[in-house]
Structures are given as structure tokens and as C-alpha cells.
Amino acid sequence: MVKVVIFGASGYTGQELTRILLGHPEAELIAVTSRRFAGRPVAEVFPALYGLTSLKYQNATPKEVAEASDVVFLALPHGVSMDIAPVFIQAGKKVIDLSADYRLRDVKTHEAWYGKHSSDKILKNAVYGIPEIYRQEIKKAALIANPGCYPTSIILGLAPALKNKLIDVSSIIADSASGASGAGREPQTGSLFCEVDGGFKAYKIGEHRHTPEIEQELNLLAGEKFPISFTPHLLPVKRGILSTIYATLKKDIDLQQIYAFYSSFYAKEKFVRVYPVGNTYPNISSVCGSNYCDIGLAIDSRTKRVIIIAALDNLIKGAAGQAVQNMNVVCGFAEHAGLQNIPLYP
Amino acid sequence: MVKVVIFGASGYTGQELTRILLGHPEAELIAVTSRRFAGRPVAEVFPALYGLTSLKYQNATPKEVAEASDVVFLALPHGVSMDIAPVFIQAGKKVIDLSADYRLRDVKTHEAWYGKHSSDKILKNAVYGIPEIYRQEIKKAALIANPGCYPTSIILGLAPALKNKLIDVSSIIADSASGASGAGREPQTGSLFCEVDGGFKAYKIGEHRHTPEIEQELNLLAGEKFPISFTPHLLPVKRGILSTIYATLKKDIDLQQIYAFYSSFYAKEKFVRVYPVGNTYPNISSVCGSNYCDIGLAIDSRTKRVIIIAALDNLIKGAAGQAVQNMNVVCGFAEHAGLQNIPLYP
Amino acid sequence: MVKVVIFGASGYTGQELTRILLGHPEAELIAVTSRRFAGRPVAEVFPALYGLTSLKYQNATPKEVAEASDVVFLALPHGVSMDIAPVFIQAGKKVIDLSADYRLRDVKTHEAWYGKHSSDKILKNAVYGIPEIYRQEIKKAALIANPGCYPTSIILGLAPALKNKLIDVSSIIADSASGASGAGREPQTGSLFCEVDGGFKAYKIGEHRHTPEIEQELNLLAGEKFPISFTPHLLPVKRGILSTIYATLKKDIDLQQIYAFYSSFYAKEKFVRVYPVGNTYPNISSVCGSNYCDIGLAIDSRTKRVIIIAALDNLIKGAAGQAVQNMNVVCGFAEHAGLQNIPLYP
Amino acid sequence: MVKVVIFGASGYTGQELTRILLGHPEAELIAVTSRRFAGRPVAEVFPALYGLTSLKYQNATPKEVAEASDVVFLALPHGVSMDIAPVFIQAGKKVIDLSADYRLRDVKTHEAWYGKHSSDKILKNAVYGIPEIYRQEIKKAALIANPGCYPTSIILGLAPALKNKLIDVSSIIADSASGASGAGREPQTGSLFCEVDGGFKAYKIGEHRHTPEIEQELNLLAGEKFPISFTPHLLPVKRGILSTIYATLKKDIDLQQIYAFYSSFYAKEKFVRVYPVGNTYPNISSVCGSNYCDIGLAIDSRTKRVIIIAALDNLIKGAAGQAVQNMNVVCGFAEHAGLQNIPLYP
């Protein structure tokens, strides 16, 4: 059993990590930290966990935590992880960072979108944690930068098309929608039930901070530089992201052929399900509660566009589940250990 | 007071028409028909209307209904209206048809998407009922083809851009999402609470029957022929449509200039609200319960695209409200008569 | 036109008052105050109101506001109203207070549940503002204490039974559920979408501060003193309260007879709808958006209990709508002026 | 591995059984039947299960199914199970029936509420399947009558109070609310998203068919005959039941003492969590996705009533989960095998 710590465990991502790790066959969750809830039992803050853990939130320093642990998950706000991660790296621990601090390889890009970076040396050795794409690199990584929720859906949705040069990269538009848990558990007016329920809206059009992360990975997959259009929307659901991705086809290719590229690309992947042609399209309610990313494909023959739908649970494959999948890879466990929950439907 | 009849009043659109007409200062609702609920009081089928009307659903023939009425609303399934409308036209009544039967000017296009048309003579004289675009024609129309819910949002969203030649028409993508009332009140598995709540999915990608209607009107606005990509999604809300529309800008133009085109185009319109630059984007919960179509604008300067957001209540501006607005125009009433409800927020 | 001011207009109740007053035929809304949003246009804080008002929130003192106004609505937190109301009373303005500050006639009871009362002289002359029960007193009142949302449903639900001595008063249990807007617009964890959606829970069992208010009025109606059991629950809806009220019947009486008592008691009331026997029971979605309180009746003959269901929109008949109804009464307007919105269904 | 069959697997309960059994370490799901979906892959009807099973729905006769199976779950409508169960019993298979056909021990009571019973001999040997109460009997049972969802919450909520004679049995009122999945997956108007979302209503007051089942078990626990009041409500959530149960205390007892009775009664139970005094009350969102029944306790000292809150997931502890728990008991597996999912929160 590896000994695991979650730093910043009182948000929705931290709670989801807690939930998954409590059921993980190879990991023992030995400590969770939270300044806000320091001293309080986890099960009091999240009654869903009542009877499942006697852990209390600690207000511990990284050093105190580092000693006893093998793997550390950082579920902290952007800008905080980078001050803490070096402590664990130096202590020889595996670090899986769920913030954006180590996702952008280029310091300048990071600083343009997020502000000053304080540990850019570590940044150079960080591995972007989508196992379906970087499995070999993750195995040897000291620090894994766990991807953003929107980027995971869009990157997995486009990888086979880009690798196989099927689409005109200048035409890519990603129209995405996320459940409210993506905004975190901090009280704010825009996340209130009365503001979200019955509503639907776009936000941060053309300026969401996941944009450079998406572009970085799509550019690497395509082997060329290009920008994309990305529009996030807020959905009145708790969990789930659905990305509807548009691109112009470069070749005269039919849907069955595209499906063949996709199913071949993901043939050995446990957590990516490519829907057969003619089936229904992915629905976030068919992935919620699981680590799946479901992908559906359509062609609009009148406009020569392919439309790719990618759906995942933003707290699992979009955050905590993918983080645990990364832990499994880096620790040499079965990649699906602790992640076999079947989507909770309805 | 004009005497008004609703043919097919037991669905969500028919119920919404009933609600609006019961509060209309110039109209008297004298009959509502329904085969399914014939003989039952309206207020028993829709308890929300308890105490507000003593009308009962009738299983009346068009002829029986035609005599006493001045204006007839047809809230019938596609394909049924075209068999009934001629009766009223011949009796000299104003007909406002909420089905798709008279929306497509080209019979061949209609038959390609919907099947055989039985009254194509009437079709020639039908007017497409978006008052913001066809007000003068509506004033003289015998039959008004009330637009679809998705098309209304997309046409109003794009009209100023097309009229002013701001965008490359080959680049238009409309990514839309609708509340569940758009699927009607007929019991079907896909409309069950447990199937819709917590979910989000695309459907009929590239093959929704609103596509030719959208293209017909966009082509007329632009003065040229082109196809568009249209992807509808099902939202877990009762009411509301939000369309996120993408197009590549033809000119080097800034957001403030685009806003100027839009606010000028809609300057005299009571029911289109163009959001100032820098404000939040439209949210369906800010229009629900009202006849407004709210429009927001953004530019993604990195990709030279304009993103237009249009939101409306699918049962009001997307159906019953626009139908009453059309009645107001054709009857010479104040265009906002009976339509002054302020959005119900939250 | 009376000149109207809302003091504390940026919460959900204040916004609902704004919405109703903007459509009121006899009232002109001349000022709205908010410390938090001072200087910002109302339509910017609530885009639903965009184009409908050019008012900005002011951070005005009561004195500044008092001069120009005829009627003042106080939509302030408990404990704040009582410091401000005297200013308006002394200036001879009509005051309608939506807080709990003047609802409890007995200062000691008030202080036991809410803390110190600073203007108990005014308290003595305050009138409890349920027009269906205190219409004559309201006509002459200087200060109207607008009732709580839960109390309105329970008092209207029990009034005919108590007045007619149908039930054993020691047996009354009110099991109520409210939508999330009842908790206000202040950001707090418990009101977040992710905490409310998909959930249902009881809270403050036996200790909710509406309890003494409910008991005060039920005791007055019955002419004797007794406690009741009251359990509030939080519903995953934006608006609406439904109270399911249990009481043991004192007499051998059938449902039709009970219905006769109720329909007679409310025969002249515009805003209370008693459902006929055998009809469906009230549903909060059949009253939302309106000033109705719907009442349904059942007998459980096996246990000799009557079950009374009362449903209302907590922001309208449970707050802002009833406040405007009170204004209408005290100003001599038609009681339904500005309150004729038909429930928005679905 | 026991070989398991689900008869009638295409409803929500059947789907949930499928989900749980696919993850069960000791059971192999060998067949699922459905007339409506015969021939179609399970994963096509429920895309959430895509990639997890290659089973297709069969339209098989009981005999065909009986041979290969060890345990049969009947997830059929009331009245259908009783015609099929005898086939399996005679073949020596263990039968777990999720309908109401074998829950009521008294044939007359069954026939008064449900209509004619066709296999009352088997009825005599059926065991009511709440393991927390009938574990020893279940071990030896040939047919287990899996309890209703509402009854499970109310019986578990009241068992310690009744066994310890804490309450006046004539005073019991159970006010319950259920998510929409309780109404099943058959298309019907009342279960549509637009009818359920934003709504809350009581139904079948005093006449719900779970009433005799609840009374049968409460009477057995108390050792005396009495009726109760039971009011079900429809909640706008997919899953979950919350029962708020009222009873007058017989003795002068404080909350801590009541808690002691409850925690002692359920001390060894894995699936009943009694909340400590002073904690928050159960919320259905803290049990959803799990087999837990959470119980909270309060005293209203002013009225001498105890209020007991019991929450569970109606599809799991209220149906499929409890059925699998019963299978585990009758087959001698660990009682929590396949049931260790942690509630999915938020």
C-alpha cells in the first residue's frame, strides 16, 4: 500500500479524490489538509463519507506531510501549488498536481495567462498527465501536471483526428459546457442554486485560461502551431463536461472511416469509449460517476465538417479520477485500480 | 376584442398560447380544441390555470370553429396543419400556424425534409412570421408561418451581421441548446425527468429539420446561397434556447463597431435586447417567461471569429409569444399587447 | 401614481419587488437602495431587467429616501428594519416591512427567538399583513409586517379549519419544503447549486424562527394557546413552498364538508384557490410566478386525520407579491393591481 | 460464482440491478430479459453500460431461464411476478422478487390493495427482505420479497423506537418524498422532465399501496395493531427518498438517550448510519449511489414529539441494492459484496 496525502482536500476535487482513494485497493489515504476546516472530521464536512473514514482535516505544512507519504496530490488553487510542490519533489515524493501550475510548458505563456511562475525549473520536468497520450512519460515523472477538465475532453476528442491529419487545424472550434462543480465549492453568487438552475450561458468567450493548455496539446499532436476557438458554457448540472468540437475535413472521408481511426487509436484504452456509428451521441449522464471519456462522431456532409462529441465527468476523468489514473501509472498499479465505478445512471 | 381559437391546445405550446391569450387586452379566447382531452376543463389538465378560465377542450372540426372566430392559432403537429389551414383561409380568417407546414417557401425543400405537402398553393402566400424582419408583409398576410424556436434565435442572432456583410457566410456554425419543453408534452422515454435531468447531449447532428428553415432565412438576409452547420443539444431545463453562433469576420472590425451595427438594427425593437459590450452574456434564465430575445457579442481576436449568443424562451419568443406578436401585427394592435411579462428571475 | 422606494433591493425579494412594481399600473418605483451594489444599474445586477429600468442602486439614508416617497418597502435583514422603519413612520410614509422585525406582537417572544428589539413602540401598532385575514386592519395601518413565507402557507392552510373548530389543535404538524431562493442571494456554501441540486433535507427541526410567528397567528385564529410542530425542508427548486399539514379531526366530517368550509371561507379571495375534491393536489409548479396560494384537502379516514396541502411562490405570495397586495389594500387600489401574472407553467 | 438472471431488466430497477451485478465479485450475470427491448444489447438501451457487458435482452420464458441460473431477480410489475415465481421455486432456485406480490403476509390485505393473488401458497413461505430485521429468516428463504422503497426508509427509521417502546403508536405520521425514478421508466405525462422539474406535490394521500406494507412491519415490530398516516410526495430529483417521521414520545427521554437506542440497535449494521446528535440531518444527496440508509434524530420538546429522518437511494437500498444484499445473505457471501460504492457527492 502506498501512503497518500491530499493537500487541499476540502473542495469538490479534494473530496472526490478522498472518495476514490478510500476505495482504492493499493493506496492508503493517511492525511488530508485544509486550512478552512482544520481540526474537523472529513465526514462532518462531507456527510456522504460518514462511517468511511475517521480522518480529520489538518492544517499541516508540506514538510510535516512529506515525511510519511509516498504520493502527494495537490488540489490547491492555481498559484499555490507551485510554492509547495518543490518541497515534495526534493523529498523524493511523487507529486500529482491538479492545479494549472505545471501544465503549460512555456513559462511565458503561463505568465501571460496566469501570472508569475515561481518554480519554473520544476516546470521543465513536469509531465502533462493524460495517460492515453503520455503514458510512457508519466511512468518516469516526478511531477505530473493533471490536466484541466475542458482540455481533457477536447484533447481526447481531437487526438485521433490530428494524429491522422484528417482536419484543417485552422477550423477547430470547441464549444463546451460544464456542470457547476467545475466552479468549486467556494461560496460565490454565480454558483448559487438560484443562479444556475434553469439557466445556461456562455462565459469567458475567447479568454478562458484553459485555452493555452488546449492549444499546447493540440499543437503537439498536430505538429504545427495554430490557435483554436474555445467557448465554455455553464450547465445546470452538478457534474459533467460535454464538448462539441467542429472542424473542416481535409479529405473526402466517410464516417465509418473516421470511426475506424478513432476506435483503433483508443483500442487498448480502458477509459475512452468510442461510440459506434449510428448509435446515440454521448450524454454526460452516461459517464457521471465514472472515469470514462465517451466520444461520438458525426459528419455534416453539407458543410464538410466533422463534429466530435466528447463527454466526461469533470470531477473524475476531468480531475480526481485522472489524477488517480496517473498515480496508478506512476506507481505501476493496474491502471484501473480504484477506478472501476460504473456510471451512476439515471 | 378579436375572437380567437387555438386548434390543438393541449401541448406545451398550446398551453402557453392559452396563458398569454387569457391575459391579452384585445383578444378573447373563445375555444380551444384537443382530441386527447376533449370534454375536460382546461384548468383540470393545467391546474396552473385553475380559476382563470372555464373553457373546456373541444373535439371540434375546423368548420365548426371557423364561424365564430376572427383569428385561429394552429398548434398542431407538422403535417396536420396543412390539412386544416385551407378551411380557415377560405372562410377569410387570419391563420397563425405554429407548425413547420408553411415555413419553407420551396415545396421541394419542404418535401425533402418533411414529406409530401398537401396545400402548396397556400404555401406561396404564407409569410414567415418574424416581425423584426417581415413586419410589413405580416400586416397583410392571410397565413403566418410562425418560425421554429431554434431558427428564431439564430436568424435574429445573425441578421445584422448578414445584412451588413460582416461575416464569411461559409463559416457559420450554430451550436444550440434547448430546454425539454421543445420536445412537447407527449409521453416518450427521452423526455422523462430521469433521462433529462443531470444530462446534456447533442442530437440529430447535421440533420435536424430546422436546418433548411434557418438556411432559407439566412440566405435571404445575405442575398446568396450557402449551407450552415447546426447542432442542437438537449438541456436539463424546462424552457429556454441558447444559440452560440460562430462566424469568421470578413473585415477588420472591433467589437464596439459590431455592437453599433446590432444596436442600430434593433433600435426600434421592443423584444430584442442587445447586450452592451463588456456586460455579461445572455443567459436563458434572464429571458424565461418573457418574449425577449437577448443577444450578446464577442470577438475571439486570435482566430478572427465573432461569437454571437442569442437566448430566448422557446415557448414564448420561440413559439406562442411570437405567434401572439404576429397576431398583434396583423390585427393592428400594439405589438407588445399581452406580451409585457417581465422575465421570471430567478 | 404613488411614489415607491425599496430599501434593500438587491436580494431575491428586493429583485422580485422591483419586477412586480415595474409592471404596476398605480405605482412608480423611484428609488432602490443597496449598499453592496451602490452606483450600479439594477439591470446590470439583474440582466433579466435589462431595458426595463434605468434605476441605479443607491446607498441612500432613510431620510434622503423618505422625502420623495409615499410608500417604502423594507427588504432588509432581520434586525435592520427596526432601526430604519421609525424614520419613515415619523415622516408619515406607509411602511411595508418584509423582515421579521414587526411580526411578533409579543416583545418577549420576539426577543427569545430573534434578540433585542429596538422599536417596540412601533411594534404595537404594526399589522400582520395577510390581507385574507387582516384586510380591515391593513387599510388603516402605518406599518405592515409582511409575513414569512412558510407562515403564509400554513396560516392560509389552517385558517378555515381553526375558525370552524374542525381540528384538535394539539395535533397540528406542519411539514414544509421551500425552494432555495428562501435562503437569499448571499453567497454561502449551503446554497450552492452542487449542494442543493439532487438533494432534499430537513433543517432547524423544531427550532426555525418562523415557529412563533405561525403559532401566534394560529392561536389567534383558534382563540386558544397551543404549540405546533414545524419542520422545514430544502427543495432543489428555485421558487415555491409546499406545506403538508396534518391534524386530527374533532368531528365526524367528510371531505366534501371540509371543502365547503374552505371554499366558503375563501369565496371572495382572488389569491387563494381551493382545489375541488378529487382533483389533483397543489403543486408548487402550478403557482410559481403568481401571487396564488393553492390549497388541497384530503382525509385519511383510517387515522381520522385531515391533510391540508398549501402551495405558493415563496418570493411572491410568500414575500414580494403579498407586500404589493398589502400596498394595494393600504393605498385603496384594486387588490390585484400589478399581481395578475398567471403562473408560468411548465 | 453464482449464476444470476434478471427477469424484467429494462426498467430503472432492472438497470440498477444490472449495474450492481456487473461489479459483483461473487455473481455472474448470465441473462437479462425484456419484452420491449428483446434482441437489443443492454449497452445500447443504457449507454452508461457501454463496454461493460455484451448481454442482450432476451424474450425468454421462465423455464428457459431457470435451468442455467442459481438466483433469479424478478424486476417485474406487480401482479406479474406471482405468475412466474412458482416456476423458479419449483426448480429449486433462489428467487428475489422486487415487486409487491409477496410482501403482504395476509392475502386479504393484499387483495384489498392490489387485487387477486394467484400463488398464495408461496406467499406463506416468503420472507420480507430487510436484512437488518429478518437476516436469520432470509438465510433460509426460498423466496425473498424485496421491500418497497418508502417502506424500507420508514421501517428502518422506526424499528429502534418501536422495539424499545419509546413512542405512542397511534401518533405515527410518515411524510415522505421520492425522486422520479420511483415512478419507473415507462413513458407517462406525469414523469416528464417539464412536469417534475421545479415542482413538488403530494400524491395518493392516505391511499398509497405501500401503506399496508409499512403497517404490517411496524405492527410486527411493536407487537400490536395500528394504522399510520403516510403521505408520499414527488421530488424533482432522479434518485432518493427522504422520510420525515413524527411520533409522540411516551416517556420523558432526551435526544442523547434516543440516539443511544438507535446506535445500539444498528451497531453491527454496515448499511445503516445513525447521525450523531447535533450533526446535520440526512440529505438524500449524501446517500445517492450507495446502499446506505442514513438516520437522523430530533426532539421537538415543545410538542413532545420525536422527529426521525431516514434517507436512502430508492434504486439501491430501496430496491436493487437491498435485493443484492438479500442475495448476499441467502448465498452466504459477505453482506456488502458488490455494494461498497461510496455515495456520489456532489
Model confidence at C80, pLDDT cuts 50, 70, 90, reads very high
For residue C64, what pLDDT is reported?
86
Check pLDDT > 80 for residue A279: no
Model confidence at D67, pLDDT cuts 50, 70, 90, reads confident
Is the bond preceding C346 in cis, omega lying within 30 degrees of 0?
yes
Could you say which of D149, D288, D293, D331 is catalytic?
A: D149
CB-CB neighbors (< 8 A) of B307 in chain A: 202, 205-206, 229, 231
For residue B66, what pLDDT is reported?
82
Q: Does D305 touch chain C (CB under 8 A)?
A: yes
CB contact under 8 A, B238 and D196: no
- Higher local confidence (pLDDT), B321 or D65: B321
Number of H helices, E strands in chain D: 12, 14
Neighbours of chain B (3+ CB pairs under 8 A): A, C, D
Average pLDDT over residues C13-21: 98
For residue A278, what pLDDT is reported?
85
**CB contacts < 8 A (B, D):** 62
Could you tell me the CA-to-CA distances from D18 to C20, C55, C103, C228 in Å, in that order? 51, 58, 55, 46
Residues of chain B with CATH 3.30.360.10: 150-314
Nearest CA to A321 out of A3, A18, A47, A76 is that of A18
CB-CB neighbors (< 8 A) of B181 in chain C: 346
Sequence-separated (6 or more) residues with CB below 8 Å from residue C122: C82, C85, C86, C89, C102, C143
Residue-wise pLDDT for A137-156, tens only, equals 999 999 999 999 999 999 99
Q: How distant is the Cα of C36 from the closest Cα of chain D, in angstroms?
A: 30
Q: What is the DSSP letter of D99?
A: S
Q: What's the rounded Cα separation, in Å, for the pair C90 and C96? A: 14
- Which one of A200, A235, A238, A309 would you mutate to disrupt binding with B, by most B Cβ within 10 Å of its Cβ? A200
Indicate the SS3 state at residue D283. Answer: strand
- The domain defined by D150-314 carries CATH number 3.30.360.10: yes
Check pLDDT > 90 for residue D335: yes
Q: Does D191 touch chain B (CB under 8 A)?
A: yes
Element (H, E) at D293: strand D293-300
Checking C104-107 for CB contacts under 8 A at 24+ apart, the result is C104/C212, C104/C213, C104/C216, C105/C216, C106/C216
CB-CB neighbors (< 8 A) of D283 in chain A: 47
Cα B21 off chain centre by: 16
Q: Nine-digit cell at B306?
A: 465573432
| Contact indicator for B246, B261 with CB cutoff of 8 Å | no
The region that residue C289 occupies, defined by phi over 0 for left and psi between -120 and 50 for alpha, beta otherwise, is left
Q: Does C225 touch chain D (CB under 8 A)?
A: no
Neighbours of chain D (3+ CB pairs under 8 A): A, B, C
Backbone angles phi, psi at A109, to 5 degrees: -60, -45
**Cβ atoms within 10 A of the Cβ of B270, count?**
17
For residue A67, what pLDDT is reported?
86
Q: Nine-digit cell at C165?
A: 373548530
Residue-wise pLDDT for B240-272, tens only, equals 999 999 999 998 999 999 999 999 999 999 999
CB-CB neighbors (< 8 A) of B197 in chain A: 237, 346
CB contact under 8 A, B187 and D189: yes
Indicate the SS3 state at residue C219. Answer: helix
Model confidence at C65, pLDDT cuts 50, 70, 90, reads confident
Average pLDDT over residues D177-185: 97
Check pLDDT > 90 for residue A120: no
pTM of this structure: 0.98
Model confidence at A121, pLDDT cuts 50, 70, 90, reads confident
Residues in a beta bridge with B28: B3
β-pairing verdict for C173-178 and C241-248: antiparallel
Angle between helices A211-222 and A107-114 (to 10 degrees): 150
Nearest CA to B101 out of B150, B152, B146, B149 is that of B146
Q: Does C282 touch chain B (CB under 8 A)?
A: yes
Q: Does C206 touch chain D (CB under 8 A)?
A: yes
Indicate the SS3 state at residue C242. Answer: strand
Sequence-separated (6 or more) residues with CB below 8 Å from residue C44: B279
Indicate the SS3 state at residue D106. Answer: coil
Scanning C285-304 for CB atoms below 8 A from D yields 285-286, 288, 296, 298-303
Residue-wise pLDDT for A237-274, tens only, equals 999 999 999 999 998 999 999 999 999 999 999 999 99
CB contact under 8 A, A236 and C181: no
ipTM of the complex: 0.97
Q: Does B273 touch chain C (CB under 8 A)?
A: yes
| Contact indicator for A201, A234 with CB cutoff of 8 Å | yes
**Cβ atoms within 10 A of the Cβ of B23, count?**
16
Residue-wise pLDDT for C161-187, tens only, equals 999 999 999 999 999 999 999 999 999
Q: How distant is the Cα of C94 from the closest Cα of chain B, in angstroms?
A: 26
Model confidence at D251, pLDDT cuts 50, 70, 90, reads confident
Q: Does C105 touch chain A (CB under 8 A)?
A: no
Q: What's the rounded Cα separation, in Å, for the pair B218 and B228? A: 9
Nearest chain B alpha carbon to C293: B48
Average pLDDT over residues B184-203: 97
| CA-angle at A300, arms to A298 and A302, nearest 5° | 165
Q: What's the rounded Cα separation, in Å, for the pair D158 and D161? A: 5
For residue A328, what pLDDT is reported?
98
Neighbours of chain C (3+ CB pairs under 8 A): A, B, D
Q: Does D242 touch chain C (CB under 8 A)?
A: yes
| Exposed e or buried b per residue across B31-68, where buried means at least 16 C-beta atoms within 10 angstroms of its C-beta | bbbbeebeeeebbebbbbbbebbebbbbebebeebbee
Average pLDDT over residues C22-34: 97
CB contact under 8 A, C307 and D228: no
Indicate the SS3 state at residue C14. Answer: helix
- Which range, C65-79, D64-78, D164-178, has the best average confidence (pLDDT)? D164-178
Q: Nine-digit cell at C8?
A: 434593500
| Contact indicator for B43, B51 with CB cutoff of 8 Å | yes
Nearest chain D alpha carbon to A185: D346
Model confidence at A66, pLDDT cuts 50, 70, 90, reads confident
Q: How distant is the Cα of C344 from the closest Cα of chain B, in angstroms?
A: 7
Q: How distant is the Cα of C12 from the closest Cα of chain A, in angstroms?
A: 9
Residues of chain C with CATH 3.40.50.720: 2-125
Check pLDDT > 90 for residue B310: yes
Sequence-separated (6 or more) residues with CB below 8 Å from residue A210: A148, A150, A151, A230, A232
Sequence-separated (6 or more) residues with CB below 8 Å from residue C108: none
For residue A64, what pLDDT is reported?
86
Residue recorded with cell 453491527: D268
The residue type found at A190 is: G
Residues of chain C with CATH 3.30.360.10: 150-313
CB contact under 8 A, A300 and B235: no
DSSP result, C100-167: STTT-S-HHHHHHHH---S-HHHHHH-EE--HHHHHHHHHT-SEEEPPPHHHHHHHHHHHHHHHTT-B
Could you say which of C149, C194, C288, C331 is catalytic?
A: C149
- Which one of B200, B294, B300 would you mutate to disrupt binding with A, by most A Cβ within 10 Å of its Cβ? B200
For residue C147, what pLDDT is reported?
98
Q: HEC string of chain B?
A: CEEEEEECCCCHHHHHHHHHHHCCCCEEEEEEECCCCCCCEHHHHCHHHCCCCCCEEECCCHHHHHHHCCEEEECCCCCCHHHHHHHHHHCCCEEEECCCCCCCCCHHHHHHHHCCCCCHHHHHHCEECCHHHHHHHHHHCCEEECCCHHHHHHHHHHHHHHHCCCECHHHCEEEEEECHHHHCCCCCHHHEHHHHCCCCEECCCCCCCCHHHHHHHHHHHHCCCCCCEEEEEECCCCCCEEEEEEEEECCCCCHHHHHHHHHHHCCCCCCEEECCCCCCCCEHHHCCCCCCEEEEEEEECCCCEEEEEEEECCCHHHHHHHHHHHHHHHHCCCCCCCCCCCCCCC
Sheet with B305-312, strands from edge to edge, namely: B201-202, B229-234, B173-178, B241-248, B305-312, B293-300, B272-274
Indicate the SS3 state at residue D315. Answer: coil
Residue-wise pLDDT for A96-112, tens only, equals 999 999 999 999 999 99
**CB nearest to C344's CB, from B47, B286, B344:** B344
Q: What's the rounded Cα separation, in Å, for the pair D181 and B194? A: 6
Check pLDDT > 80 for residue D85: yes
| Contact indicator for D113, D79 with CB cutoff of 8 Å | no
Backbone angles phi, psi at D28, to 5 degrees: -115, 120
Q: Is the dihedral of CA C249, C251, C255, C261 positive or negative?
A: negative
Residue-wise pLDDT for C182-201, tens only, equals 999 999 999 999 999 999 99
CB-CB neighbors (< 8 A) of B343 in chain C: 48-49
Backbone angles phi, psi at A314, to 5 degrees: -60, -25
Nearest CA to B320 out of B4, B1, B19 is that of B19
Burial-class residue B217 by CB neighbours within 10 Å (0-12, 13-18, 19+): buried
Model confidence at C278, pLDDT cuts 50, 70, 90, reads confident
- The domain defined by A150-316 carries CATH number 3.40.50.300: no
Sequence-separated (6 or more) residues with CB below 8 Å from residue A19: A48, A49, A320, D342, D344, D345
CB-CB neighbors (< 8 A) of B12 in chain D: 194
Q: How distant is the Cα of B38 from the closest Cα of chain C, in angstroms?
A: 17
**CB nearest to C48's CB, from B51, B238, B343:** B343
CB contact under 8 A, C49 and B342: yes
For the question of residue C288 being annotated catalytic, the response is no
Q: What's the rounded Cα separation, in Å, for the pair C151 and C98? A: 13
Residue-wise pLDDT for A227-239, tens only, equals 999 999 999 999 9
Q: Does C72 touch chain D (CB under 8 A)?
A: no
Q: Does A189 touch chain C (CB under 8 A)?
A: yes
Q: What's the rounded Cα separation, in Å, for the pair A54 and D200? A: 37
| CA-angle at B306, arms to B305 and B312, nearest 5° | 140
Q: What's the rounded Cα separation, in Å, for the pair C290 and C267? A: 19
For domain A2-125, the CATH class is alpha beta
CB contact under 8 A, A289 and D289: yes
Q: What is the DSSP letter of A163?
A: H
Into which CATH architecture does domain C150-313 fall? 2-Layer Sandwich (3.30)
Q: Nine-digit cell at C244?
A: 403538508
Is the bond preceding B282 in cis, omega lying within 30 degrees of 0?
no
**Cβ atoms within 10 A of the Cβ of B111, count?**
13
Residues of chain A with CATH 3.30.360.10: 150-316
The residue type found at A6 is: I
Q: What's the rounded Cα separation, in Å, for the pair C123 and C82? A: 9
- Which one of B10, B42, B50, B295 would you mutate to disrupt binding with C, by most C Cβ within 10 Å of its Cβ? B50
Sequence-separated (6 or more) residues with CB below 8 Å from residue D220: none
Average pLDDT over residues D114-138: 94
Q: Nine-digit cell at B43?
A: 384548468
Nearest chain D alpha carbon to B12: D194
Average pLDDT over residues D159-171: 98
For residue A199, what pLDDT is reported?
98
For residue D219, what pLDDT is reported?
98
Q: What's the rounded Cα separation, in Å, for the pair D14 and D319? A: 9
Q: Does B197 touch chain D (CB under 8 A)?
A: yes
CB contact under 8 A, A342 and D275: no
